Every structure is written in C-alpha cells, then in structure tokens.
Amino acid sequence: MSLELDPVDWTVSRVPVEYADGVRTMTERAQHIARGLTPEFVWLLEHPPLYTAGTSTKVDDLRNPLHFPLHQTGRGGRVTYHGPGQRIAYVMLDLKQRGGDVRSFVHALESWLIDTLATLGVKGETRPGRVGIWVRRPEKDACAEDKIAAIGLRVSNWVTLHGVSLNVAPNLAHYDGIVPCGITEHGVTSLADLRSPAPMEVVDNALRDAFERHFGATRSVDDPLASTLSTFPISSGARP
C-alpha cells in the first residue's frame, strides 16, 4: 500500500451482544468511517444463539430453526448460526485506503483466519467455490472436510461491514436447524471439536497478532456499547 494507514481501533465485548444492538452500532460506526470522522474499527464479540440469513439465503436452507430467532441481514452469503463460544469479528475497514479491491480484501480475510488457526495449532485451508476456512477430517473419512470459520461481508460507501466468525467452542448441534452457508456435503467443526481447545482470550490475541501482520497496527479502545452510540472513543494509548 502506498499510503501509511492510521492504527485500526480494536475492542472486545466481554458479554454477549444482542444482534440488533451490534448491527446498529456497526452500521453507525461504518457511516462515520466513510465520512472520515473516526478511525477504522474491528469489534470482537459473541451473540446469543441466533441465525442470520444473508442475501443469497434459500427457503430450503431452514431445516428446523429450533427456537432461535432468525435475522435478515444485508451481508452476502446464505444462512448461518451465531452463538456463545463463537468469536465474531465485525470488520469496518475503508477499502478506498486499502486498494479498492474487494476480491483481494476477501483473500486477506482468509489469510488472516488461516494464520490465526496456525497459531492455535490447526491447519485451515480455502477451497474453490466454497467461502470460509476448512479443515481436513481424515479420522471421519479420507475426503472429509469441515468448516471452522465463515466470512460474510457487505460494502457500503467503500467501508466493509459484518466480517468473520471463528468457531472456538460453540454448541455445534445448533447448526442442525439450518443448512450452514447452503453446504450439505460437508460439516461444521470448532477448535474444541478438533481437540485443540483454547480460551477465548488466547484466540483473541491470536486474531489480533495475525490481523496486524495482514492489515496493519491496531490500538485498543473501549467497548462501543459502554458509551453512547454517537460518540466513539479514540484511544491515545498503545496496545496493552
């Protein structure tokens, strides 16, 4: 990149964030970024158990949605699950400053997740025609692969919204109510399911270190829901 970018604001919510609150906060922050009023932002969080339906969702993707709420969302992709034990990263970056290439940006997100998983002892891979990060499961079958991380984006005014999710230790049975991301021939896994458990704080540190290698420096800020939605804190301190 020819431009030297300012550090990206980075925060972690330590309690589950209601989906509507998360989307509202993310959307408002992205609008501020697009107008040059506030720095780029990555927000790590968990949601209560729920399903989100992307813009490509089909009726058949809902097998038996249990008792979890279903939220329509503006991101790309089909239906997926979010819940406790899954680390979600809302990624609000200004693509105008980062080359303006959405395809390259998605590739960078994939590399970020793969590097994070490598730090945690798991080999993640991409597959042509399948979005997200996959792991081989030879103990199941020679050709078996499961999805461990998902990517779902929307771009508005050249600022990205939504982002990625990484399965740390969610209840995988909660995926049974849907066809995750429209894929029926492969399963879903997690770090815990792969017997590579890691505390969420360790996962967060791995995500941050890998993010900085791919996207640049970060700086810690307060949880946006700890203050008013119209005033976003800007840190003056270094990364702890």
> Among all residues, which ones are annotated catalytic?
181
Report CA-CA distances (Å) from 218 to 8, 9, 39, 122, 161. 4, 6, 10, 25, 18
Residue with tokens 């972690």: 12
Q: Tokens representing 144?
A: 């078996």
Report CA-CA distances (Å) from 97 to 68, 78, 143. 38, 29, 41
Residues in CB range of 177: below 8 A, 6 or more apart: 51, 62, 63, 64, 65, 66, 68, 81
